[in-house]
Amino acid sequence: MSLLELKNVYKIYGELHALDDVSLKVEKGEWVSIMGPSGSGKSTMMNIIGCMDKPSKGEVLLDGVDISKQSAKELTTIRRDKIGLIFQQFHLVNYLTALENVMLAQYYHSLPDEKEALEALDRVGLADRARHLPSQLSGGEQQRVCVARALINYPEIILADEPTGNLDEANEAIVVDLFHKLHNEGTTLIVVTHDPEVAEVAQRTLVLRSGRLAKEVVNQNFTGQIHFDRS
Amino acid sequence: MKKSTMFVRMITASLMRRRSRMVVALLSIAIGATVLSGLVTIYYDVPRQMGAQFRNYGANMILTPSGDSMTLDDVAAGAACIPSDQLVGMTPYRYETVRIRETPVVAAGTDLESAKKTSPFWSVEGEWPSANGELLLGAAVAEQYRLKVGDTIEVTYTPEELADASADPATVTADEMILFDVTGILDTGGSEEDHIYMYMADLETLTGTANKADVAELSVSASGDVLAGYVERVAQGSDAVSARLVKRVTASEATVLSKLQALVLLVTTVVLALTMICVATTMTAVVTERRKEIGLRKAIGASDSSIIKEFMGESMLLGLLGGVLGSMLGFLFAQEVSVHVFSSTISFRPLLVPITIIVSIAVTGLSSLLPIRSATEVDPALVLKGE
């Protein structure tokens, strides 16, 4: 059974078909990129997969559960237990330290564990910045805190929406390398990006156009050991 | 780490690290709590403060004999039924008809020191008598006999049996005569101006009888039911005297007091309503500017109830701090008002501290409830996209 399966999914706003009969499967441990121009339906798809929105029609099976039929409360539980979110704008709570931001996800999931949160920050190379507020961190560092927060509860799937969109090249490389590390540890990754070079490092790239799945490219050279270098 | 520890850590971090925003909210709550606590303090202190002011209008209770007569001891026993800290003054009066230049005048023997307390509105031209042999002339008497301060007059007393013995005033023989120095002319605008006032000892010398009183005026620092209760107490405690209220004074006291308290209550209610609006506006602003944060919390798995709990926790902590601050500042505010309006200090009411804090927490909580509930309706997907 696939970890994620979309079956004939539609999202319709009046006359607009943001998603138009989309079907796809993502296997456990797979790294998939989603590309497409603005307005192609990438964000709509991410919101639906991320349990923040429901399709107008179709089925979305996450770990065997049809999330299109769940209540708002049940979707919150699924989001908390199975999904890790990484945002382009990082979205850290500005009055909480890096460590507290990571612990926030633990707080809603189960019990905050400072030691474990510190280990997560250590995994993204920020153990020494744990007591800093977001305003005292660079963009790349904030994104790494966001990654640590996304993975702290060992989610089934990590959804990253333009994770490198606001980063310079050096930080972009750090974040993509982190994705490699997570993938090698067996984490399922779905990354929405505009950047073909970031998309290409995934195992598979799905291209959306006008709400439809236009192309699917399998990266034949994927080794899982790539050190990302744009040059 | 326990969830509650993280909860407290988040709330305190929000207050401490967003200080400039929170200071504005705290100030709004503290000012409301200050005015509220101050006005309630004044509301409860008004009867005491006004009671002291009302005592300037004179006695509010009088003691009269239950039977034909009463002694000074009976008066003292009756007055003893009233708590000493409530009794501003007690003045016994004995009235006798004496003669000045062979014409009858009503003389009142009394404790002139005490009369100053029970009749503070008496206006005396010259000086109050300070020793036996000195007297105070009512203004009408002074005018009738063309007497002025510094004059010396003969006051004579004819015992009743002698007066009755002869119908012809020319044959009446004075039994006793005392020479008095006039130290002051009494101006009250009332019937007191038709009398002369001397020390009780002088009247007893003139009449040859002691330990008698016709009436006693009491000035009691109480009003309404409490004052009525003292009347009952005197009735139960003494057979020789009966007490009654000076309705003219007590009724107007009660009216003024109830109107003043109603006014303070009205102002307090209006302030409470304004405080709620002000706090609600502030909390709405605080919550609105954090919609993105709420969206994020929901996106990473926060339930509506946990968001309400966190934001209510913050609000109530603000309410607690505002209440503590307000109860202290409120006392200072009430003290200032009391000193400037009533010229006296106010008594601290410890019970008002927890009440102010509880009301402050409740008002802040209630005011925050609506904006927080609306905040939980935030769609995390829209907020995180910045829409």
The tens digit of pLDDT for each residue in B91-119 reads 999 999 999 988 999 999 999 988 988 88
pLDDT at B57 over 80: no
Pairing status of strand B61-65 against strand B215-220:
antiparallel
Is residue A25 one of the residues assigned to a domain?
A: yes
pLDDT at B170 over 60: no
pLDDT band (50, 70, 90) for residue B387: very low
Is residue A89 one of the residues assigned to a domain?
A: yes
Shortest CA gap B274–chain A (Å): 31
Pairing status of strand B61-65 against strand B195-199:
unpaired
Nearest to B85 by CA among B264, B192, B226, B203: B226
pLDDT band (50, 70, 90) for residue B184: very high
Do the chains contact at A103 and B6, CB–CB below 8 Å? yes
pLDDT band (50, 70, 90) for residue B202: very high
Residues in chain A within 8 Å Cβ distance of B305: none
Chain A positions with Cβ closer than 8 Å to B: 43, 47, 50, 52-53, 73, 76-77, 79-81, 85, 87, 89, 91, 93-96, 100, 103-105, 107-109, 111-114, 133, 149
Do the chains contact at B384 and A93, CB–CB below 8 Å? no
Instruction: Report, as an integer, the average pLDDT of B337-343.
Output: 84
> Which residues, other chains included, contact A226 with Cβ-Cβ below 8 Å and sequence gap of 6+?
A180, A201
Nearest to B188 by CA among B123, B136, B93, B248: B123
> In chain A, which stretches have pLDDT less than 70?
223-231
Shortest CA gap B26–chain A (Å): 18
Shortest CA gap B282–chain A (Å): 19
Do the chains contact at A93 and B5, CB–CB below 8 Å? no
Is residue A17 one of the residues assigned to a domain?
A: yes
pLDDT of residue B224: 77
pLDDT of residue B322: 93
Per the structure, the complete domain to which residue A78 belongs is given by: 4-218
Q: What is the mean pLDDT of chain B?
A: 86
Is residue A134 one of the residues assigned to a domain?
A: yes
3-state secondary structure of A13: strand
Residues in chain A within 8 Å Cβ distance of B387: none
The tens digit of pLDDT for each residue in A14-34 reads 888 899 999 999 999 999 999
Instruction: Report, as an integer, the average pLDDT of B333-343.
Output: 86
Instruction: Report, as an integer, the average pLDDT of B283-305.
Output: 87
Residues in chain A within 8 Å Cβ distance of B383: none
> Which CATH number fits the domain that encloses residue A96?
3.40.50.300
Q: What is the pTM of this model?
A: 0.70
Residues in chain B within 8 Å Cβ distance of A91: 292, 296, 299, 384
pLDDT of residue B177: 85
Nearest to B193 by CA among B143, B257, B253, B251: B143
- Count CB pairs under 8 A between chains A and B: 73
Residues in chain B within 8 Å Cβ distance of A73: 303
Is residue A127 one of the residues assigned to a domain?
A: yes
The tens digit of pLDDT for each residue in B78-94 reads 888 888 888 888 999 99
Cβ burial, residue A212 (10 Å; 0-12/13-18/19+): middle
Number of domains in chain A: 1
pLDDT band (50, 70, 90) for residue B134: very high
Query: A-contacting residues of B 245-304, CB under 8 Å?
Result: 292-293, 296-303
